[in-house]
């Protein structure tokens, strides 16, 4: 008997000066945490953060001198939150926490012996949903889809015409050549050829839209693409014999770099470039992906050169090289970048403005893709 009395005494004493948590319940859109005694504002400490590992937003309320006798309790609740927890965090702190995948919009107030969490009502939520739907729509409009025709090949190719919108890329007034337009049409023609070969193709952007470099590969990942091909045109500063420099070059992402690859990469990387970050990324590239991208680069490059040489003299062959191209970083599939010629070059500059030349070039790229899949029996 005395043992129980002792226990009872101990329990009562330990509660002395403590404010015991009593219950948790919903009242309309409000969640109410009720305590035994009145709460002061400075007794409730609120903070929140995003927990990266669990990918959840956490909202924490620590109640000073609180007491919760049941250890930790998880309240299952599907109304707004993934979980509501109450527990004795420290000897003198009771913790109430919410966890959710998305940010939770709510206010709280302390009223007598209660903490009342007021969640945003339905109308506001709907407004938000509407907004995000509109956003989605806008996002959808930036790319172009080419459904496969004829015999379907079950492969998805993302073609990425460089630059766009306010970013014109390389420009040569003398030949009226603007990179963003040249590469858009080449990408579009390539897409049409590939579509007729049975491939499912996407262009990362519409004719005059600007997309950040990272969003281009992100898009390809989201579409679960098998290949990512970025199409660009080169230029040289107007010095010396700049106009005599012509030729096609193809690049893949690799830690090995020639000084030329590095120079071109610097131009294409533009404002989005993060020099420190790319070094880290280059070291983590899988050799498998480098090899596959290298193969793809060779197949496309060879086909483009061969195709054009059927029709034109003096097609410059700048070769295939590895380089630190930011636009290729993050692509989860073999990825290459082709520089279809120098807009500042006397031959390339004129040719790149010609519709037929663009089409022939596009045909070369499409044949390269076909070759790549055939050779690798993919
Ligand atoms: Zn470019």
Segment 278-331, tens digit of pLDDT: 666 666 667 778 889 999 999 999 999 999 999 999 999 999 998 878 788 778
Taking the centre of ligand 1 as the mean of its atom positions, its distance from the CA of residue 340, in whole angstroms, is 10
Q: Which of 370, 204, 215 is nearest to 296 (CA)?
A: 370
Residue with structure tokens 């030949």?
175
CA dist 221 and 303 (Å) reads: 26
Kindly tell me if the per-residue pLDDT of 35 is higher than 60: yes
Supply the pLDDT for residue 310.
97
pLDDT, tens digit (0-9, with 9 covering 90-100), for 248-281: 999 998 776 666 667 667 667 665 555 556 666 6
Taking the centre of ligand 1 as the mean of its atom positions, its distance from the CA of residue 239, in whole angstroms, is 20
Taking the centre of ligand 1 as the mean of its atom positions, its distance from the CA of residue 255, in whole angstroms, is 20
DSSP H or E stretch at residue 229 = strand 227-234
Supply the pLDDT for residue 253.
85
CB atoms within 10 A of CB 121: 11
Q: Which residue has the higher pLDDT, 126 or 196?
A: 196
Taking the centre of ligand 1 as the mean of its atom positions, its distance from the CA of residue 363, in whole angstroms, is 20
Supply the pLDDT for residue 233.
96
Domains and CATH numbers, the chain: 13-128 (2.60.40), 141-373 (3.40.630.40)
pLDDT, tens digit (0-9, with 9 covering 90-100), for 36-70: 888 888 888 887 887 877 778 888 898 988 888 77
- 86 close to 99: Cβ distance less than 8 angstroms: no
The band of 135, judged by pLDDT with boundaries at 50, 70 and 90, is low
Q: Please give the model's pTM, rounded to 2 decimal places.
A: 0.62
Supply the pLDDT for residue 245.
94
Taking the centre of ligand 1 as the mean of its atom positions, its distance from the CA of residue 319, in whole angstroms, is 17
Supply the pLDDT for residue 54.
78
- 96 close to 86: Cβ distance less than 8 angstroms: yes
Kindly tell me if the per-residue pLDDT of 123 is higher than 50: no
Supply the pLDDT for residue 49.
80
pLDDT (average), residues 123-127: 50
Taking the centre of ligand 1 as the mean of its atom positions, its distance from the CA of residue 234, in whole angstroms, is 7
Supply the pLDDT for residue 52.
76
Mean pLDDT, the chain, rounded, equals 84
* 12-21, 39-48, 78-87, 280-289 — most confident range: 39-48
Taking the centre of ligand 1 as the mean of its atom positions, its distance from the CA of residue 358, in whole angstroms, is 16
Longest dimension (CA), the chain: 108
175: Cβ–Cβ under 8 A, 6 or more apart, which residues?
Answer: 343, 349, 350, 352, 353
Taking the centre of ligand 1 as the mean of its atom positions, its distance from the CA of residue 170, in whole angstroms, is 6
pLDDT, tens digit (0-9, with 9 covering 90-100), for 149-183: 988 889 999 999 999 988 888 888 888 889 999 99
Taking the centre of ligand 1 as the mean of its atom positions, its distance from the CA of residue 163, in whole angstroms, is 6
Taking the centre of ligand 1 as the mean of its atom positions, its distance from the CA of residue 169, in whole angstroms, is 5
Supply the pLDDT for residue 330.
79
Q: Which of 190, 163, 181, 114 is nearest to 268 (CA)?
A: 163
Taking the centre of ligand 1 as the mean of its atom positions, its distance from the CA of residue 81, in whole angstroms, is 46
CA dist 107 and 92 (Å) reads: 25
């Amino acid at each position: 008997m005395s043992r129980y009395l002792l226990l009872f005494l101990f329990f009562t004493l330990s509660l002395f000066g403590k404010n015991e948590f009593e219950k948790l319940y919903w009242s309309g859109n409000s969640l109410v945490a009720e305590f035994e005694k009145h709460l002061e504002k400075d007794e409730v400490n609120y903070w929140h953060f995003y927990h990266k590992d669990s990918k959840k937003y956490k909202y924490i309320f620590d109640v000073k001198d609180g007491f919760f006798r049941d250890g930790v309790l998880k309240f299952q609740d599907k109304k707004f939150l993934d979980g509501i927890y109450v527990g004795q965090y420290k000897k003198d702190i009771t913790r109430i926490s919410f966890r959710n995948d998305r940010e939770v919009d709510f206010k709280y107030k302390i009223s007598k012996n209660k903490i009342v969490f007021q969640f945003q009502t339905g109308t506001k939520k709907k407004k938000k949903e509407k907004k995000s739907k509109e956003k989605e729509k806008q996002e959808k409009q930036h790319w172009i889809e080419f459904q496969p025709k004829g015999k379907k090949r079950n492969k998805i190719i993302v073609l990425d015409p460089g630059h766009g919108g306010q970013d014109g890329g390389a420009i040569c007034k003398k030949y009226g050549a603007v990179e963003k337009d040249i590469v858009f049409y080449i990408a579009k023609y390539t897409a049409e050829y590939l579509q007729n070969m049975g491939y499912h193709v996407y262009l990362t952007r519409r004719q005059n839209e600007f997309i950040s470099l990272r969003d281009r590969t992100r898009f390809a990942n989201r579409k679960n693409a098998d290949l990512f091909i970025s199409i660009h045109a080169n230029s040289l500063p107007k010095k010396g014999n700049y106009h005599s420099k012509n030729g096609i070059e193809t690049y893949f992402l690799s830690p090995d770099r020639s000084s030329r690859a590095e120079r071109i990469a610097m131009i294409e990387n533009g404002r989005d470039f993060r020099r420190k970050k790319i070094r880290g990324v280059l070291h983590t590239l899988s050799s498998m992906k480098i090899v596959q991208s290298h193969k793809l680069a060779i197949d496309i490059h060879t086909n483009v050169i061969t195709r054009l040489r059927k029709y034109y003299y003096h097609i410059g062959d700048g070769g295939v090289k590895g380089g630190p191209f930011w636009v290729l970083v993050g692509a989860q599939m073999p990825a290459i970048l082709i520089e279809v010629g120098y807009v500042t070059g006397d031959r390339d500059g004129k040719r790149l403005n010609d519709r037929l030349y663009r089409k022939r070039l596009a045909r070369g790229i499409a044949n390269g893709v076909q070759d790549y899949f055939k050779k690798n029996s993919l």
